[in-house]
Amino acid sequence: MITIAVSGKGGVGKTTIAAGLARALARSGRQVIALDMDPSPNLHLSLGCGKSLDPEKLVPLTGREDLILERTGAAPGAPGSVFRINPVVSDIPEKFGIRCLDNVLLLVLGTIRTGGGGCFCPANAFAKRLVDSLRRSTDVLVMDMEAGVEHLGRGTTKGAEILLVVVEPGRKSFETARQIAKLARDLGIPRVFGVLNKVKGEPAPDLIRELGEAGITPVFALPYDEVVAEADREGVAVSDLPGGGIFAQRMSELARVIQERSG
């Protein structure tokens, strides 16, 4: 069992890589659950679940007030509420999972907002309990985290064996990656790997050195690919477009490297 959290600055290709990695691991024979933890969930598009999904299936679990109330005994935002910190979640994958290409099972969890939204402790308890349950019962769990560093502050990434930081050549992206790596160390995540994305030409040695100095082990570099950019614009899986097979091959290589590095 292995848990991979995919993180990075917004716009670096985090969701596309999370989806490609999940599908590559599934093609290699692993049972994979992909968890969309972004406040604006769109992992289903990159996983090839299709644009015609019932919108009800894409409502984040943390936003389903009836579900949170049923499982924790308190509604999200209820001030001073008493709730169950270990709610039953074992049936969630079967009830709310979406089967995508390559047999990847997708769950749309969403994120927890605290500022100005009242007490979200019941929803947070539900989310952490679900992530912990999936980590212990799933062959491979790939978590597409929200962009930036807030998810690390909330601790939902805690317990992941691997934090995969997607970085594009640019100062803002590297600074975000540096912050992510620091918080990952604070949470005790044992392996922080870096994927350089949208690289034109050879990766600059100074950028690779900076990653290492920040505590991020560079493991892979992906060139800029217009097919990937087109898939993002059209809201489809890269493999749905001509030329998408090259990206799938690269994701299979990335999956092999990660499995080797993780032991």
Q: Is 33 exposed, middle or buried (0-12, 13-18, 19+ CB in 10 A)?
A: buried
Helix (H, G, I), strand (E, B) or coil at 69: helix
Tokens 């001030």 belong to residue: 79
For the chain, what percent of residues have pLDDT higher than 90?
Answer: 44
Model pLDDT, residue 81 = 66
Token pair listed for 222? 């992906």
Q: pTM score, two decimals?
A: 0.90
Question: What residues are paired with 195 via a beta bridge?
Answer: 166, 220
User: H-helix or E-strand containing 98?
Assistant: strand 98-99
Output the six-digit token pair for 146.
């929200």
Return the pLDDT at 154: 60
List the one residue out of 240, 206, 243, 241 whose CA is nearest residue 223: 243
The CA radius of gyration of the chain, in Å to the nearest whole number, is 18
Q: pLDDT (tens digit, 9 = 90+) per residue, 151-177?
A: 665 666 777 899 999 999 888 888 899
What is the per-residue pLDDT for 102? Answer: 92
Return mean pLDDT, the chain. Answer: 86
Which residues of the chain fall below pLDDT 50? 114-119
φ and ψ at residue 223, rounded to 5 degrees: -75, 160
- Per-residue model confidence (pLDDT) at position 78: 61
Rounded Cα distance between 76 and 124, Å, is 9
**Angstrom distance (rounded) from CA 7 to CA 166:** 6
Q: What is the pLDDT of residue 234?
A: 84
Instruction: Determine the pLDDT at residue 261.
Output: 85
Say how far apart CA 210 and CA 208 lie, in whole Å: 5
Q: Where are the beta strands (DSSP E) in 72-215?
A: 98-99, 105-108, 140-145, 162-167, 191-199
Question: Amino acid identity, residue 31?
Answer: Q
**Per-residue CA distances from 59 to 39, 90, 92, 116, 168 (Å):** 10, 19, 14, 21, 30
- Measured CA to CA, the distance from residue 131 to residue 35 in angstroms comes to 9
Domains and CATH numbers, the chain: 2-262 (3.40.50.300)
How close are the terminal C-alpha atoms of the chain, in Å?
11
The residues, ordered by sequence, that sit 6+ positions from 89 with a Cβ below 8 Å of its Cβ are: 71, 126, 129, 130, 133
